[in-house]
Structure 1
Amino acid sequence: MRLRVSFADAPTFLRMIQAVAKTSPKCIIRLSAAAVQIIVPGEALESMQIWSTVPVDAFFNADYRIESNFNNQINLEIATEPLLQALRSTGKDAADVTMRLAKRDRDPLLSFSIGNTTMNGARLEIVQEVLIRILKPADINRIQEPVSPVPDVHIFLPAKISKLRKVAERMHSLTADHILLSASRSGELKLAIEKDDCRVETTWKDCARPKGDDITQSDDDHPASHHFSVKLDMKSFMRLLSSNIVDASSIIACICEAHCAIFYVYIGDTSQRSSRGVMTFFLPGLDT
């Protein structure tokens, strides 16, 4: 089993891991010849899951080398905080960053070599090592991406995600365990909580909606003003909004009524999203 790569875009990889680290203390990284996947499978039925797929050339240079007996695929589990510490060492001014699979005694690890040049022109190299667990094919085959029905509605979240987060924080402070997310095809988005005989609700109007066939939606006779809704775990929703998402200006929320909410975060310029990849956050709905 061999892995050796040099980074073409270490900062974006760092931002993705930062988003993941806000939601989970560990993640799975699945590397193949064509793509890099970052996965948080969730530990409970109501837990948020993350499934991110990015083409290899979005992160790595052409010297990307991977070999294994499992169709040249390597699956590893890694703690997010030590990985973040290693990636932060890359900084914005690193001349080159190389990642390889290695061992310390019998323990597998990822070794990061960060090369730079000092002010007097001398070569400086920092090595960071992060312990990992190699997953067997049987382990990874048990982890499956959630299956959901065709979304009823899809809508862009407000560009200033901080305002949405502040509203949710106020609702959370009212000791709400869940939150109701709803949207209409006319561009309205609502957050609401219900407690005893009280209902607190905030509405955003004129939210943009994806054009064309970016994301399909169910075919029905509901008027454009009809709201489709799903009840979500408040803590999971807050972790999503607090995750320092890669590009908070291009988050698409898809609602499968009473089933789940799916949030697509496109990596890089939205006009080039098909080539840069996407982070998918899956939040299961709670029983109403």
Structure 2
Amino acid sequence: MRFTANMQQPDTLRAVLYGMSFLRKHCLIRITDGRFTLVSFKESLGQSATQIWTHLELADIFSEIQIGSLDNDHINMELNLDHFVRALKSCTSSSDTVKVKLAKRGRIPYLAVSVDSPSYTSIKQEIPIKVIRESVLEGIAEPTIPNPDVSLEIYRQVRSVLRICDRYRNLAKHITLTANRAGELRIAIQNDDVTVEATWTNLTLMLSCDSQDDDDDSQQQVDKETLYSVVVNADELFDTLRISYASRRIIFCISDRFTLMLHVLLAGLDDHSYVSYYIPSLTL
């Protein structure tokens, strides 16, 4: 198995890895068909666990790529996110050259990250990995969810949403998110001690494939005002939103009482590179 490449976007990749690491410490990296995919989940892959799927165009992140494996040139490895983030922190300037290479010491595989800088001697760090055969991953697939009932783009408001979630998670274990097609998003907590709600309006509605061409104005108005909601773990929502500093757009997609999906478009990359968080709605 062979993988060597120069990294073109170390800051972007480090930001993505760092954002993922708040929620999970280990991830699966899949290099297949021009894609660099990072998958992170709990022990269970069922709908009860939040999943993170990061899809990056391989050529957007790396150059001078060499790939070879007995699994049709597909490479799968598991590693600790904190180790990868720490290795990329050695890159401090745009003039630094970052190289990655799969290697072995004896029979133990690792990912070597080398940083060459004009200002200091080359730094090489070795990240322990677990190589996984393609056949083992046949049952792993991105979650299938219904078309969102409402999808709203959060742009300038993302920092205020993050602050509210940080405040609310200190008051309650669960947060309710409610949205409608009029561009309104509400975030609320309710327990025996406190009931609090924050509202954002005039958010951009993202059209989905289930949009209907209906000439009945009154029906359209009802659809716009209909509320859709999910209940999620407060800490997990906050940790998920920490990816916001690496994003240029975040789209909140709510499938009523089923799933909250956060679709994160990354700064410096086109729409083909993104992070998707799948957070199942809880039944309290």
TM over 0.5: yes
Query: Alpha-carbon deviation of 1:92?
Result: 2.3
AA aligned opposite 2:143: P
What is the letter of the counterpart of residue 38 of structure 2?
Answer: I
Q: Following TM superposition, by how much is the alpha carbon of 1:94 offset from its aligned partner in structure 2, in angstroms?
A: 4.2
| Counterpart position of 1:89 | 90
Match of 2:140 in 1: 143
Match of 1:193 among 161, 166, 189: 189
Cα deviation, residue 150, structure 1: 0.7
**Structure 2 equivalent of residue 280 of structure 1:** 276
C-alpha spacing 1:53/1:41, structure 2 compared with 1 (3 Å): same
Q: Deviations over 1:168-200 (max 9, x none)?
A: 2222222x2211111111110000122138532
1:55 aligned to 2:27? Answer: no
Q: Secondary structure at the match of 2:82?
A: helix
Q: Which amino acid aligns with 2:178?
A: S
Name the residue aligned to 1:107.
Answer: 108
Q: 1:284 to 1:273 in 2, by over 3 A?
A: same
Map of 1:24 onto structure 2: 24
One-letter amino acid of the structure 1 residue matched with residue 85 of structure 2? L
For residue 43 of structure 2, give the secondary structure of its aligned residue in structure 1.
coil
Give me the whole-angstrom Cα distance separating, in 1, the residues matched to 2:268 and 2:101. Answer: 29
Say whether the 8 Å CA contact 1:47–1:236 is kept in structure 2. no
User: Which is further off, 108-117 or 85-94?
Assistant: 85-94
d(CA) in 2 for partners of 1:183, 1:71: 44
Matched, 1:159 2:161: no
Mapped partners of 2:264, 2:93: distance in 1: 23
| 1:251 and 2:253 matched | no
Given the superposition, is the C-alpha separation of residues 115 and 195 from structure 1 closer, same or farther in structure 2, using an over 3 Å criterion? same
C-alpha offsets along residues 84-143 of structure 1, whole Å, 9 cap, x if unaligned? 11111122244311101001222100011211113xxxx732111100000122332232
Residue of structure 2 in register with 1:12 after alignment: 12
Of 117, 122, 132, the residue aligned with 1:125 is 122
Pick one of 201, 217, 222 that aligns with 1:205: 201
Tell me which residue corresponds to 1:76: 77
Which whole-Å CA distance do the structure 1 matches of 2:227 and 2:144 have between them? Answer: 23
CA deviations 1:31-67 (Å, max 9, x no partner) are 1241100111233554321111111111011x21111
CA 1:245 to 1:46, structure 2 compared with 1: closer, same or farther past 3 Å?
A: farther
Q: What amino acid is the match of 1:37?
A: T
Does residue 169 of structure 1 match 2:171? no
Q: Following the alignment from structure 1 to structure 2, what is the Cα–Cα distance between the partners of residues 153 and 87? A: 37
Question: In structure 2, what is the equivalent of residue 226 of structure 1?
Answer: 226
Change (3 A) 1:239 1:46: farther
- Give ranges in structure 2 of 5+ residues lacking alignment: none
Query: 2 CA distance for matches of 1:69 and 1:16?
Result: 29
RMSD: 2.1
Q: 1:259 to 1:206 in 2, by over 3 A?
A: same
| Same amino acid, percent of matched pairs | 26
2:239 partner letter: R
Conserved 8 A contact 1:178-1:233: yes
Check the 8 A contact 2:14/2:88 in 1, yes or no: yes
TM-score by length of 1: 0.88
Change (3 A) 1:197 1:15: closer
Structure-1 separation of matches of 2:211 and 2:257 = 14
Read off the aligned partner of 1:104 and give its amino acid letter.
R
User: Structure 2 vs 1, CA of residues 245 and 24 (structure 1 numbering), >3 Å: closer, same or farther?
Assistant: farther
